Structure formats: C-alpha cells, structure tokens
Amino acid sequence: MPHNKQVLLDNRPQGEATAANFKLVATETPALQDGQVLVRHHFMSLDPYMRGRMNDAKSYAAPQPLGQVMQGGTAGEVVESRSPKFQPGDKVVGMGGWQEYSVVNADQPGALRKVDTTHVPLSHYLGAVGMPGVTAWYGLVKIIEPKAGQTVVVSAATGAVGSAFGALAKARNCRAVGIAGGPDKCKYAIDELGFDACIDYKQHKDAASLAAALKEACPGGVDGYFENVGGMVLDAVMLRANAFARIALCGMIAGYDGQPVPMKYPQLLLTNRMKLEGFIVSEHMEVWPEALKELGTLVATGKLRPRESVAQGLESAPEAFLGLLKGRNFGKQLVKLV
C-alpha cells in the first residue's frame, strides 16, 4: 500500500489561525478490507468553514479533533477496490481530508460519489458543481426565492459560492450585484461571471459609504441578499434592503477569529419585515441532485465559468488556507496533489 502524507490539526488557534496550528506527517496506508476502496486524491478543497471547526467551541459541526487529519472535500480516482460499487479508474468525490490517499467504506451512504468528467473538469466538483455551488443554489432558490426582475446581492462574489450564485441568479432573470475585494475581482465578476454590477468593498471605509455605492448599483433597492461575510458589509446591505427582503445567512468570515460580529441596524429587520435565515447545506441533502444537475449544465454550457486558485502539493495547504481567510484567493481555493 502506498506511502501517505497527511496534514493534522496539531493545536487550536488563539485568535488568528497560523501555519503553526498544523503538522505534516507521513504514514503507511492500511490494507483494504472487504467493501473498502483506496482513493488517490487529485484535488483537495479549502473552505472558510474549516476555520470555525478549528476552534473548540459550540457550533453546527463538531470541532476538528486534535491530532487527526484535517477534514475536507476531495476529488480523485479509485486506485484499488474491494467493493463491487467502484472500479479502479473511477473518478470520485468524497470527504477524504487533507491527505494524499484515503481508505473509504464504499457502503457508507454519501461517503463517495462517482462523477462524470466528460464535460465538467474534476476540480469543479469541489466548487461550482459541488458543495459551494449547492450552497449558492439553496440560499437563492429556497430562502431568497427571487422573482424575475428583482435585485439580489452576494458578498464574496467571486469566490466559489458567490460565482455560482451570480450564474444562478442570472438564469432566473434577476439583477445580480456582487461585493468583492479589489478591481480585478470586480472586473471578473462583471465580464466573466455576468454580474450586472460589482462593488469593491476595499474602496469603502464604513457601512454608510458602502451603502451609497449599493444605492447606485441597486437603484431599486435590494430584494435578496446572500451573506458570506457579516460586519460592515451586512450593515451596508441592511441600509438598502427593501420591505420583505430575504437574507440567506451562510457565512460570517468577519468573525472566524472568535471576535464578536456586531450588527449596527437590527431594527431594520422589523422596519422592513425582513426574513433572515441561517442554513447549513449538508442538512438539505434532498436538494443536491436537482441543484447539481442545474450547476453541471451551467458549467458544461459555459454559462458559469468558475475561476480557481490552485496551490501545488499537500505542504502548501496551510498557507493556502490562511490566504483564503484573508481573501487572497481568486475563485475556488484548491490544492493539487498529483
């Protein structure tokens, strides 16, 4: 069985996460039992939610255990199988974690999923046609529920979730407005992702300034908002929200270091009779087939052109992950392992 490099969570962050929280180790891959398959990971997903799991705090998911492989999504190839369900050469997506290989029990529901790479590149199954894409789909379709002609806004607009959200919103004839960091990301959002407008939050020092830019980009106000960030960005959108606006709350990256994330204008939830709903996409597995079908079609037909930031080799994972938390990635952050 092959040699396997792994990244473990060695200790918990005190405040900001650092590379010293992780540890690189090498181990032997265990021999396969009946019903198991050995997967060689080609790509590994890095996602903001992982930061929250590094803390030993009450959350929607159990904390990442210390001394164990960092958990996360992987896309790769079956190299050995003792299960009739999978053959060597099958391209698969699972939760193999921060390591080069994983041994998976093929009978465990949802543990491993075969994917077709004829029209959709393997890496996209960790982004636009994977968990981030389904996250965008659920927030838009099930919580915001937009009508044609309405204006929807998404923060972190050029990330894996935001870029899928833009394409899904345009497919429903909505006005799609993004919020992103830097002129390059805003240009990409408009030119390649099809957003109607994109605001560079780095040009604004406070919520009032950002809200003024939103007023220009959303002359009819904001009907739906997909929140990935919190803090000043949420405050600014609240100031432009219409009556009966809906907010799908998916991430609070402004608070991932454990600091409180105050909300300046909570009274607007009442004034505007707004709905704010937090959600975790893994609790809604029933929508995944429908969402993945639409997302796969958008990618295959070129209507969704996701961008990827790809770090090379397992050793690069901690620094790439820390960069993701600072917004240094452009599009979906991946680590390429082969």
CATH number at residue 267: 3.40.50.720
Q: Are residues 157 and 73 in the same domain?
A: no
Q: Say if residue 58's pLDDT is above 90.
A: no
Q: Say if residue 251's pLDDT is above 90.
A: no
Pick the last residue of a domain from 242, 265, 282: 282
Q: What share of the chain is helix, strand, coil (3-state, %, to 5)?
A: 35, 25, 40
**Predicted model pTM:** 0.91
What's the chain's Rg over C-alpha atoms? 20
Q: Are residues 196 and 237 in the same domain?
A: yes
Q: Please state, rounded to an integer, the average pLDDT across all residues of the chain.
A: 95
Q: How is residue 335 written in tokens? A: 């680590």
Q: Are residues 90 and 136 in the same domain?
A: no
Task: Report d(CA 282, CA 293) in Å as an integer.
Answer: 17
- pLDDT of amino acid 255: 80
Task: Report d(CA 320, CA 299) in Å as an integer.
Answer: 25
Q: Are residues 43 and 26 in the same domain?
A: yes
Strand 101-105 and strand 36-45: the pairing is antiparallel
Q: How is residue 20 written in tokens? A: 């010293």
Strand 112-114 and strand 332-336: the pairing is unpaired
Q: Are residues 90 and 181 in the same domain?
A: no
Q: How is residue 228 written in tokens? A: 């990935």
Place of tokens 């996409």: 281
Task: Report d(CA 9, CA 64) in Å as an integer.
Answer: 7
Q: Say if residue 61's pLDDT is above 90.
A: no
Task: Report d(CA 217, CA 159) in Å as an integer.
Answer: 20
- Tell me the pLDDT band of 60, cut-offs 50, 70 and 90: confident
Q: HSE (CB half, 13 Å, CA atoms) of 104?
A: 32
Q: How is residue 171 written in tokens? A: 């497919």
Full residue range of the structural domain in which residue 77 is found? 3-127+307-336
- pLDDT of amino acid 194: 95
